[in-house]
Amino acid sequence: MLIIEDSITEKREVRVAETEQAQASQQVQHTNGLEVVETREWLDSLDYVLSKGGAERAGRLLQQLALHARRAGGVNLPFTATTPYQNTISSSQQPPFPGSQEMERRIKSLVRWNALAMVVRANKIQEGIGGHISTFASAATLYEVAFNHFFQAATESGDRDIVYFQGHAAPGIYARAYLEGRIPKQKLQNFRRELNPGGGLSSYPHPWLMPDFWEFPTVSMGLGPIQAIYHARFIRYLENRGLKTSTGGRVWAFLGDGEMDEPESLGSITLASRERLDNLIFVVNCNLQRLDGPVRGNGKIIQELEAIFRGAGWNVIKCIWGGDWDSLIQNDRDGLLVRRMGEITDGQYQKYFVESGAYFRQNFFGTDPRLLKMVEHLSDEQLARMRLGGHDPIKVHAAYKAAVEHAGAPTIILAKTIKGYGLGEAGEGKNITHQQKKLNEDELQVFRSRFGIPIPDDELHEAPFYRPADDSAEIKYMQERRKQLGGHMPVRKNRATPLKSVPESHFEEFYKGTEGREASTTMVFVRMLSKLLRDPEIGKLIVPIIPDEARTFGMEALFRQVGIYSSVGQLYEPVDMDTLLYYKEAKNGQILEEGITEAGSMCSFISAGTAYSNHGINTIPFFIYYSMFGFQRIGDLIWAAADMRCRGFLVGGTAGRTTLAGEGLQHQDGHSHVLALPVPNLMTYDPAFAYEIAIIIQDGIKRMYVDGESIFYYLTVTNEPLPMPEMPSQSGIREGILKGLYRYRNSEKNDAKLHAQIFGSGTIMYEVLKAQEILEKNYGVAADVWSVTSYNELYRDANDCVRWNMLHPKETPKVPYVTQALQGAPGPFIAASDYMKVLPESIAQWVPGKLLSLGTDGFGRSENRASLRDFFEVDAKHIVLATLTALAREKQVEPDVLEKSIRDLGINPEKLNPAIS
């Protein structure tokens, strides 16, 4: 075996199959003649050490041998990232199975049947409604062993396991819940028909739609694995900070092998090993197929993933061969079989899944008479039924047990299975299996008989659900197992008690403004955050999250104030130790300084923002990042956060296309508010002043953590230092800020004939105020200025009214807030923002007059703010021109005046159009 291992692991690349083939032929040459005898002697000696001293002793000896060989003879064993194509846990190491295999097989068959029936029925009733059969069919054993023996819904310490179910396996999870009596048959019948009377079941895990059941939306592939990693780390963060006292729960993520190609799946795996997250277990269902065909037809996905994860420091457990292979492997003294296993590509393995035993014998074993001899006692039928590791409960149990017992590193289990297992001709192992949703009667019959479901032939055409009575042995067994493990899963609920109130006093300072001193809204935000962090009640619940931009946002004071979280504390003397604001890492540090990963930071945000549900802890995340790298980069994670009813504040820093000077096209964000609009439960704000931010954050904490609303926030803050004004004293201002618009400053020109209303947001508000002055002084226009804190909120409210009015034609129509607020305001309306024109335009139809919008459509430029605002036509002079233009459209201003104003304002009418240049 030793020689075989050395030979097989001599790989310099991850192109596993090719390399193994080459090495295998080398091996054959070397094992000729004298070498055979010599090798045999060494192997016998090693066997002796193994039997006397055990695996650990043998391992040490091999290491010593390797060291000796290098020193004495310059033998350099090449780096090896993979082990042979074998189970990591040998049959002699595997523990006894703790349950009734026969009973569990029967239960699993029932789950299989109902999962299949759910999809087949749904498509019979509604052609084309879709659903997946083959994913769960291949993963059934992986789930059932976990449900019966591992998934802890509650541990003795009060903790629980967190499980990320593979999205496409949802029918299997529903089927089990049906057998457990948790989902009525009617809902099963309405799988993928959520709007049918009585309600149905979501296609995939969606907490928004099934808030008592699903916890994690995993169906956008790649989001499950990265979230699982950060969740496992967040649990450690909670423990190390003393917020979570119960321990011992694990995070399980069930993943597809095709899914592992998503960059998010692999991108953060070193965090898990670096943080020694032995509370994390990945289970990859290696059915060798994805949607269109094989994952690695010409390679071996298991070997490739092994190399990647071993290289990253994970504990890798391969579960490839089922018990049927045990005796063959044990008798494979010369390693011929394992070598052959290593030679075959996944595409070819897939071929064996669909071919006869005779083909398997001839093609796989037939290359060597010695191999053929190994299986001569097996019939073709038996050969065809040789089970794979992922379908063998004993092997799967052994892998899970080893995973939960492993200390010091996360574990990945690579379980080999067949896609569409049990479907036979209907799709088992075939390339089309992922799309298979319909089975004809014959195919249903085969499946029914294979899994022994007591449904008579004449009822099969309906694909009826089947649930034995509550007191049947099967149902009693499965319920008892779940009872032992603390209850059913998945169950989603709110596990936290709401906060009592939001501390008002921290916000008051911001109502007063800065008395002429300049401050950016980012500085205001950071000051507010630092005050909240000091609060005796909620301070400890705040989770500041930053992807390596703390200095950009002027947050370094927080390093010292609350520390940067590190699971090991600070093992070095920081280079800036002698300064006040040194880089302080601490085990109980509060800041999650994530490094340059917006995706990872977002996962921390989600973990913290859903801890009220997952862990009963009201952590309040504030994730501040370059606004440009938010929605357009990690929009799908934000969508998932929304689905999960995540709470907290996303803060887009350095926001605005013309406010971030110098940085240019890739950094200047003039559209994140547009990209935020689709997220239904996201409150978005583009505040201009300190007091606006104070009111928004205060109200946000109240709505999310006191009132328990399933909303979260996006607010943009900017880095332009400006004097922050005092909050005007008129009534209704708080409501206006939160609803999205309020009158900020009336024109003082009482005798004016010309009137206009100008909307400003963010830092462009200051350009609007300058324009107000110019209009008054130079053009005799009295313009009132409105602060629009949220076009999105105004848009939503107005749409809601329109819809209601349409459905209630006889009742007094509702008037949108924006229309009410602006009613009677004289003159045309002009909007200027640092975002695309479409944002103000979205409310145009509800503005009681004509609206002319200025915005920043187009690619940014490296420039200073003044030039950028000139270029994008959102500075004071363009606002003046727009106002005059709007008045001219209403025939209140002569065209000549317009032309003159263009000259006087110094605007070049032939300048490039920023939207397309």
Ligand X SMILES: Cc1ncc(C[n+]2csc(CCOP(=O)(O)OP(=O)(O)O)c2C)c(N)n1
| Residues binding Mg ion (CB under 5 A) | 256-258, 287, 289
- Cβ proximity to ligand X, 21 vs 220, nearer residue: 220
- Cβ proximity to ligand X, 106 vs 434, nearer residue: 434
- Cβ proximity to ligand X, 294 vs 563, nearer residue: 294
Contact status: 205 vs ligand X (CB under 6 A): no
Dist. CA 654–CA 877, nearest whole Å: 24
Q: How far is the CB of 352 from ligand X (least distance, A)?
A: 17
Q: How far is the CB of 76 from ligand X (least distance, A)?
A: 37
Contact status: 432 vs ligand X (CB under 6 A): no
Q: Segment 293-352, which members bind ligand X (CB under 6 A)? A: 295
160 touches which of ligand X, Mg ion, none (CB within 5 to 8 A by kind)?
none
Q: Which of 84, 205, 217, 258 binds ligand X (CB under 6 A)?
A: 258
- Cβ proximity to ligand X, 287 vs 604, nearer residue: 287
- Cβ proximity to ligand X, 422 vs 760, nearer residue: 422
Q: How far is the CB of 403 from ligand X (least distance, A)?
A: 19
- Cβ proximity to Mg ion, 86 vs 134, nearer residue: 134
3-state SS track over 380-414: HHHHHCCCEHHHCHHHHHHHHHHHHHCCCCCEEEE
Q: How far is the CB of 844 from ligand X (least distance, A)?
A: 35
Copy the structure tokens of residue 142: 């992986």
562 touches which of Mg ion, ligand X, none (CB within 5 to 8 A by kind)?
none
Q: How far is the CB of 173 from Mg ion (least distance, A)?
A: 17
Q: Strand, coil or helix: what is 294?
A: strand
- Cβ proximity to Mg ion, 258 vs 914, nearer residue: 258
Q: Which of 122, 146, 219, 453 binds ligand X (CB under 6 A)?
A: 219
- Other residues' Cβ atoms within 10 Å of the Cβ of residue 341: 22
524 touches which of Mg ion, ligand X, none (CB within 5 to 8 A by kind)?
none
Q: Which of 135, 152, 604, 654 binds ligand X (CB under 6 A)?
A: 135
Dist. CA 502–CA 909, nearest whole Å: 52
704 touches which of ligand X, Mg ion, none (CB within 5 to 8 A by kind)?
none
Q: Which of 20, 104, 259, 275 binds ligand X (CB under 6 A)?
A: 259
* Nearest alpha carbon to residue 350 among 285, 300, 396: 300
Q: Segment 394-423, which members bind ligand X (CB under 6 A)? A: 419
Copy the structure tokens of residue 815: 């008037």
> Peptide bond preceding 211: is omega within 30 degrees of 0, i.e. cis?
no
Strands 712-716 and 682-685: parallel
Q: Strand, coil or helix: what is 292?
A: coil
Dist. CA 419–CA 266, nearest whole Å: 23
Q: How far is the CB of 287 from ligand X (least distance, A)?
A: 5
- Residue spans of alpha helices (H) in 594-732: 598-609, 611-614, 631-643, 672-676, 690-701
Dist. CA 260–CA 288, nearest whole Å: 12
Q: Is the dihedral of CA 698, 704, 709, 710 positive or negative?
A: positive
* Nearest alpha carbon to residue 605 among 652, 656, 668: 652
Q: How far is the CB of 268 from ligand X (least distance, A)?
A: 16
Burial class (CB in 10 A: 0-12, 13-18, 19+), 505: exposed
Q: Segment 434-473, which members bind ligand X (CB under 6 A)? A: 434
- CA 861 remoteness from chain centre: 32
Q: Which of 220, 270, 363, 892 binds ligand X (CB under 6 A)?
A: 220
Contact status: 290 vs ligand X (CB under 6 A): yes
Q: What is the DSSP code string of 142-209?
A: HHHHHHHHT--SS-TTS---EEE--GGGHHHHHHHHHHTTSS-HHHHHTBT-TTSTT--B-SS--TTT
Q: Which stretch binds ligand X (CB under 6 A): 44-52, 58-66, 229-237, 257-265?
A: 257-265
Q: How far is the CB of 316 from ligand X (least distance, A)?
A: 18
259 touches which of Mg ion, ligand X, none (CB within 5 to 8 A by kind)?
ligand X
AA identity, residue 445: Q
Q: How far is the CB of 673 from ligand X (least distance, A)?
A: 25
Bridge partners of 284, per DSSP, are 255, 414
- Residue closest to ligand X when measured from CB atoms: 256
792 touches which of Mg ion, ligand X, none (CB within 5 to 8 A by kind)?
none
36 touches which of ligand X, Mg ion, none (CB within 5 to 8 A by kind)?
none
Residues of the chain by 3-state class (helix, strand, coil), percent to 5: 45, 10, 40
585 touches which of ligand X, Mg ion, none (CB within 5 to 8 A by kind)?
none
Q: How far is the CB of 254 from Mg ion (least distance, A)?
A: 12
- Cβ proximity to ligand X, 295 vs 344, nearer residue: 295
- Other residues' Cβ atoms within 10 Å of the Cβ of residue 323: 15
Residues 112 and 173: beta-carbon distance below 8 Å: no
Contact status: 77 vs ligand X (CB under 6 A): no
Site size toward ligand X (CB under 6 A) is 18
Q: Is the dihedral of CA 288, 293, 299, 305 positive or negative?
A: negative
Contact status: 291 vs ligand X (CB under 6 A): yes
Residues 652 and 672: beta-carbon distance below 8 Å: yes
* Nearest alpha carbon to residue 124 among 182, 193, 202: 193
Burial class (CB in 10 A: 0-12, 13-18, 19+), 125: middle
- Other residues' Cβ atoms within 10 Å of the Cβ of residue 515: 9
Q: Segment 151-190, which members bind ligand X (CB under 6 A)? A: 168
Residues 591 and 211: beta-carbon distance below 8 Å: no
Q: How far is the CB of 82 from Mg ion (least distance, A)?
A: 20
Per the listing, tokens 């045999």 go with: 40
Q: Which stretch binds ligand X (CB under 6 A): 64-72, 112-120, 218-226, 895-903?
A: 218-226
Q: Residues 6 or more apart from 681 whose CB is under 8 A from it?
A: 208, 642, 645, 710, 711, 712
Q: Which stretch binds ligand X (CB under 6 A): 217-225, 460-468, 530-538, 615-623?
A: 217-225
Q: Which stretch binds ligand X (CB under 6 A): 288-296, 421-429, 688-696, 783-791?
A: 288-296
196 touches which of Mg ion, ligand X, none (CB within 5 to 8 A by kind)?
none
Contact status: 613 vs ligand X (CB under 6 A): no
Contact status: 357 vs ligand X (CB under 6 A): no
796 touches which of ligand X, Mg ion, none (CB within 5 to 8 A by kind)?
none
- Cβ proximity to ligand X, 135 vs 601, nearer residue: 135
168 touches which of Mg ion, ligand X, none (CB within 5 to 8 A by kind)?
ligand X
Q: Which stretch binds ligand X (CB under 6 A): 56-64, 214-222, 235-243, 645-653?
A: 214-222
Dist. CA 400–CA 485, nearest whole Å: 15
- Cβ proximity to Mg ion, 256 vs 700, nearer residue: 256
Q: How far is the CB of 191 from ligand X (least distance, A)?
A: 17
Contact status: 875 vs ligand X (CB under 6 A): no
Q: Which of 172, 256, 410, 700 binds ligand X (CB under 6 A)?
A: 256
Contact status: 265 vs ligand X (CB under 6 A): no
Residues 270 and 262: beta-carbon distance below 8 Å: no
* Nearest alpha carbon to residue 768 among 880, 625, 642: 880
Q: Segment 895-914, which members bind ligand X (CB under 6 A)? A: none
- Cβ proximity to ligand X, 82 vs 135, nearer residue: 135
Q: Residues 6 or more apart from 56 whose CB is under 8 A from it?
A: none
Contact status: 106 vs ligand X (CB under 6 A): no
- The binding site for ligand X (CB under 6 A) comprises 135, 168, 219-222, 256-259, 285, 287, 289-291, 295, 419, 434
